[in-house]
């Protein structure tokens, strides 16, 4: 008995520093919504938190979750198109701006008005991204960028004629107090300086479309899908990895040398200058500036999985009993300490464990 106690004490002594070394990463209890719970479609392109209300853009309409129930808006209600690709909230008025496959819809006081190529200055009806910056509504479309001045009703168009944009397929947008950034599919990143009204572009320095030759020397790839600008730091998602730019230095992330589960990233959403969430085709990833955490159904078994990768590359599996609805993650948004996750097979609510 004495011998057994001695061995137990020895094992605990060995394990203690290993346990202490595991980074303390956010853990969630996941609840998922599908058509069975009231969603109009399981394919959720985007999600937006509006206080206690949750908006979800799906392949078959706009859905609002409020008071434990879903309400659906479609073309019969005035929505420009049933496929909703992007969402933005005007926090001053509470108005919602909805980017669809058939135009831009404005939801205000229960009324839906639509802008398209025929009745406005919208550059293209396929609106991949939308953002609110004061009185301006910025859109990213399949044929360049557009900006609506909501006070005057005037539209401004930005394309290869008046910007450094050599590809006009704009895919994502992020606005800040001083800059506006566009993810341009096949064209890198476009920066607009609000004060000087000048444009600047950032491109992959090696010009190689298949592989990354120069690490941390610039934007990781030209095929950009998402941008997130916060605290004067730019985060960029691509289908070949991700980048962080602080105004002087670039730092690139790839699955082979970081905690990313995949280089194929649909969206990056930053919390601050050092922390960000990555929506990939192989799960949801969180980076705290040093360590990584992955949340997903396991790729082989489909069972709930969470693991942590520390700065030394050490991977620790965390026991969990729930996961996001699917590995293919398209977007996230935050509700206090909770997180909402749009996936190809439903919308998930991650309730943060206290």
Altogether, the residues listed in the chain come to a count of 354
> Which domains occur in the chain, in start order?
43-291 (2.130.10.10)
Instruction: Spell out the per-residue pLDDT of the chain, length 354, in tens.
Output: 444 555 545 444 444 444 446 789 999 999 999 999 999 999 999 999 999 999 999 999 999 999 999 999 999 999 999 999 999 999 999 999 999 999 999 999 989 999 999 999 999 999 999 999 999 999 999 999 999 999 999 999 999 999 999 999 999 999 999 999 999 999 999 999 999 999 999 998 877 665 666 677 899 999 999 999 999 999 999 999 999 999 999 999 999 999 999 999 999 999 999 999 999 999 999 999 999 999 999 999 999 999 999 999 999 999 999 999 999 999 999 999 999 999 999 999 999 997
Instruction: State the first-to-last Cα distance of the chain, in angstroms, to the nearest integer.
Output: 38
**Mode of pairing for the β-strands spanning 127-133 and 111-115:** unpaired
Rounded-to-integer distance, Cα 215 and Cα 265, Å:
18
Helix (H) or strand (E) holding 12: helix 2-21
pLDDT computed for residue 225 by the predictor: 98
**Mode of pairing for the β-strands spanning 155-158 and 144-149:** antiparallel
Exposed, middle or buried: residue 289 (CB in 10 Å: 0-12, 13-18, 19+)?
Answer: exposed
Rounded-to-integer distance, Cα 110 and Cα 96, Å:
10
pLDDT computed for residue 209 by the predictor: 60
Among 93, 90, 190, smallest CA distance to 140 is for: 190
Rounded-to-integer distance, Cα 354 and Cα 336, Å:
13
* 343 neighbors 325 (Cβ within 8 angstroms): yes
Q: Which residues pair with 343 in a beta bridge?
A: 329, 346
Q: Find the angle CA(141)-CA(146)-CA(147) to the nearest 5 degrees.
A: 140
Among 242, 335, 274, 287, smallest CA distance to 31 is for: 335
Give, as one character, the DSSP assignment of residue 17.
Answer: H
Query: What pLDDT digit, counting tens, does each position of 97-156 carry?
Result: 999 999 999 999 989 999 999 999 999 999 999 999 999 999 999 999 999 999 999 999
What three-state secondary structure class fits 166?
coil
DSSP 212-277: --STTSS-S-SBEEEEEEETTEEEEEEBTEEEEE-SS-EEEE-TTTSS-S-S-EEEEEESSSS-EE
Give, as one character, the DSSP assignment of residue 4.
Answer: H
**Mode of pairing for the β-strands spanning 96-100 and 84-89:** antiparallel
pLDDT computed for residue 21 by the predictor: 62
Distances (CA, A) of 171 to 130, 158, 248: 10, 14, 24
Tokens standing for 306? 């969470």
* 253 neighbors 245 (Cβ within 8 angstroms): no
pLDDT computed for residue 206 by the predictor: 74
Q: For 284, phi and psi rounded to 5 degrees?
A: -95, 130
Q: For the whole model, what pTM was predicted? A: 0.92
pLDDT computed for residue 205 by the predictor: 87
């Amino acid at each position: 008995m004495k011998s057994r106690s001695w061995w137990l004490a020895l094992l605990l002594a060995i394990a203690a520093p290993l346990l202490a070394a595991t980074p303390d990463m956010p853990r969630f209890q996941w609840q998922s919504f599908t058509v069975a719970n009231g969603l109009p479609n399981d394919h959720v392109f985007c999600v937006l938190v509006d206080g206690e209300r949750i908006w979800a853009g799906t392949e078959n309409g706009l859905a609002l979750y409020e008071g434990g129930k879903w309400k659906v808006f479609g073309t019969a209600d005035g929505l420009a198109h049933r496929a909703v690709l992007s969402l933005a909230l005007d926090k001053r008025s509470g108005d919602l701006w909805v980017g669809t496959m058939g135009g831009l819809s404005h939801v205000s006081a229960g009324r839906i008005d639509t802008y398209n190529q025929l009745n406005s200055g919208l550059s293209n009806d396929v609106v991949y991204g939308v953002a609110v910056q004061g009185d301006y509504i910025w859109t990213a479309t399949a044929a360049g960028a557009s900006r609506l001045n909501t006070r005057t009703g005037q539209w401004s168009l930005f394309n290869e004629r008046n910007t450094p944009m050599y590809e006009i397929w704009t895919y994502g947008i992020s606005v800040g107090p001083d800059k506006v950034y566009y993810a341009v599919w096949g064209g890198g990143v476009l920066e607009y300086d609000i004060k000087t009204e000048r444009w600047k572009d950032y491109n992959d320095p090696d010009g190689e479309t298949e592989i990354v030759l120069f690490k941390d020397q610039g934007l990781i790839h030209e095929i950009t899908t998402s941008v997130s600008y916060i605290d004067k730091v730019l985060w960029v998602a691509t289908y070949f990895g991700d980048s962080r730019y602080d105004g002087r230095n670039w730092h690139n992330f790839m699955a082979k040398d970081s905690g990313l589960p995949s280089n194929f990233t649909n969206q990056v959403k930053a919390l601050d200058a050092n922390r960000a969430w990555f929506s990939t085709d192989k799960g949801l990833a969180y980076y705290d500036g040093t360590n990584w955490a992955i949340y997903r159904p396991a790729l082989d078994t489909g069972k709930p999985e969470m693991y942590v990768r520390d700065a030394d590359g050490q991977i620790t599996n965390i026991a969990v009993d729930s996961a996001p609805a699917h590995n293919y993650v398209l977007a996230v948004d935050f509700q206090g300490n909770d997180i909402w996750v749009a996936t190809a097979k439903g919308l998930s609510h991650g309730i943060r464990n206290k």
